[in-house]
Amino acid sequence: MADVRREQWNDAAIRVNQIGFSTGLSKAFSSQVVSGNFEVIDADTNECVLVGTTSPASEDEAAGVRVSLGRLDGLDTPGRYRIRMKNGVESPIFAIAERPYQAVKLALLRNFYFQRCGMELEERYAGPWKHAACHLDHGIIHGDDPSIRRRTAGGWHDAGDYGKYIVAAAKAVADLMLAYEAYPAAFQESVNIPESGNGVPDILNETRYELEWMLLLQREDGAVYHKITTYEFPGLHVMPEDDAAALVFSPVSFTAAGTFAASMAMAARVFAPFDEPFAADCREAAERAWQWMENTESFERVSFRNPRDVKTGEYGDQNVIDEHYWAAAELYRLTGDRTYLIKAEKLVQSGGFPLCELGWRDVGGYGTIALLYALRDAGDRTAMELRERLTEQWIMRADELLDLSKRNGFGVSLIQDQYKWGSNMIVMNNGMHLLIAAELMKDSDIRQQYLEAAAQQWHYLLGCNVLGICYITGYGYNSVMHPHHRPSIADSVPQPVPGIVAGGPNLGLNDTAAAALLIGRAPMACYIDHEDSYSTNENTIYWNSPAVYVAAALDCLNR
């Protein structure tokens, strides 16, 4: 079902972050039909508290409109406000507060609980979105003796379907662990999950639920099964506990082993202060996966391909060098063993992959982050030169993103062909990149510009975009209502599960709903809030995870 409110909001002139703005941080809005003078009105007193002028209007090809950007940085008093343009057009009311993003940050994190597989979601934790335990059967191994069955229950459903995939899981847990390490103060509150109150931050409690499932997919020789799914996707109106089709482990893959080794090495480091035995298990699993990778012949290091009778998500990847790099970097950061550093440096020198990407397919950025931190106090020349090279690459990319953000009327850092499947992940990945660049350049004047650009990516996600839609369910005055998410469709609850990040605009129009309803739209407008539009309106764990990172940063920077 599509939401008729979309067209009404498309006529509005002013786009803002619908949750509001934080004191002390960058504040900006976009005007789509007029530029020039504006004033900000206190919504409670009706007094003008700020006057300003937008940038000159310019054509935004990706958005298909003329747009100008206005800044509100002179306004820092908590309250409720609206913007009035010179032609009398007004924005909806928005807030300025000390911690406006606290609730949405927790909702983004809490959404991983709603994705849990293999356990009952009880009403005291899940509210009206409760449901029975699901996918408790053991699964067979594709191509092996069908009488041999392995445990499958646990972890998170990957997306709007019920499959579970290692390469997707690895990105998601990596983002969450990085968020915790960078902003621990942002994760002091309870998320109200079954483990809350056990002395471990809930972001790590939730991450561990996925990690324990990932451990189930490691074979005795160290190899890792690529995924566990049914043979085909279930229907849209099937609740997880009603999905009773046979479960099958797809074959092992090099990319699964690499991302598994890397994320387990991260877990061994992050969980050591809380649970040394679990951390030791993660380290042992990471090292076994690494050894399997090292013993794998080069001709076997190929992209995963679905078996013919398995029709679920493939998560194939033609380039497997970056997974090898990430694993080497994380194992070096964990152990200090220079064997791993030598391997990582050799892979960097090969130039066979991008060093700064943070996707599920291109994971080189995670290896770079690991080395940037591991080599902070490097004493030998070779290690120092490697860190300098990686820092230069990271900052060069951050400058590109900063320039894109400054030149865009909505402050977003996408180029036109990046409005593709999962474009909102790219926006949040870019936000992560800019925030890490700000940390690397914390003693430089450019740090503040990186922070402001990161905030602009967040504003885009929460409503400062051509459609005026907040892409997080349950938040904002015009948020996603009909995600391609089976539990949200199949349950009897009118509201979707909260805290979902929708995939966002996709000029590829890769599903029938998008192809029928979005033809001729500008790239940024190629989104529809329709349950059938899996290519624009589905969720994934690895779209939520970078959003958690960005939300945590912006929630924490004032504290």
pLDDT of 35 reads 79
**Integer Cα distance of 272 and 259 in angstroms:** 20
Range in 81-95, 108-122, 190-204 with the lowest mean pLDDT: 81-95
Mean pLDDT of 181-194: 97
Catalytic-labelled residue, pool 452, 529, 532, 555: 529
Q: Are strands 94-97 and 21-22 parallel, antiparallel or unpaired?
A: parallel
**Integer Cα distance of 365 and 429 in angstroms:** 10
Neighbouring CB atoms inside 10 A of 450's CB total 26
Percent of the chain exceeding pLDDT 90 equals 89
**Integer Cα distance of 435 and 433 in angstroms:** 5
To 10 degrees, the CA torsion angle through 540, 543, 549, 555?
A: -90
Taking the model in full, what pTM does it have?
Answer: 0.96
Amino acid identity of 524? M
pLDDT digits (tens, 9 = 90+) for 20-43: 999 988 899 999 877 789 999 999
Contacts of 336 (CB under 8 A, 6+ apart): none
pLDDT of 521 reads 96
**Integer Cα distance of 528 and 453 in angstroms:** 26
2 pLDDT exceeds 70?
no
Range in 72-81, 328-337, 495-504 with the lowest mean pLDDT: 72-81
Cα distances (angstroms) measured from residue 449 to each of 186, 232, 415, 420, 455: 22, 47, 19, 27, 10
Mean pLDDT of 219-230: 97
pLDDT of 559 reads 63
Catalytic-labelled residue, pool 157, 484, 485, 530: 484
Using alpha carbons, select from 18, 28, 122, 27 the residue that is nearest to residue 69.
Answer: 28
47 pLDDT exceeds 50?
yes
Task: Note if 538 is an active site residue.
Answer: yes
pLDDT of 538 reads 98
Using alpha carbons, select from 141, 315, 158 the residue that is nearest to residue 240.
Answer: 158
pLDDT digits (tens, 9 = 90+) for 402-424: 999 999 999 999 999 999 999 99
| Residue 6's pLDDT band (cuts 50, 70, 90) | very low
pLDDT digits (tens, 9 = 90+) for 264-282: 999 999 999 999 999 999 9
Query: HSE-up of 256 (CA within 13 Å, CB side)?
Result: 26
Mean pLDDT of 71-98: 92
| Between 3 and 192, residue with greater pLDDT | 192
pLDDT of 9 reads 41
pLDDT of 3 reads 41
8 pLDDT exceeds 70?
no
354 pLDDT exceeds 90?
yes
pLDDT digits (tens, 9 = 90+) for 193-220: 999 999 999 999 999 999 999 999 999 9
Mean pLDDT of 425-433: 98
Mean pLDDT of 90-107: 95
| Between 1 and 32, residue with greater pLDDT | 32
pLDDT of 443 reads 86
pLDDT digits (tens, 9 = 90+) for 458-474: 999 999 999 999 999 99
Contact 17, 94 (CB under 8 A): yes
Cα distances (angstroms) measured from residue 456 to each of 29, 94, 390, 503: 9, 16, 25, 18
3-class SS at 187? helix
| Residue 10's pLDDT band (cuts 50, 70, 90) | very low
Mean pLDDT of 438-443: 93
**Integer Cα distance of 257 and 245 in angstroms:** 27
Mean pLDDT of 132-145: 95
Task: Note if 433 is an active site residue.
Answer: no
pLDDT of 379 reads 76
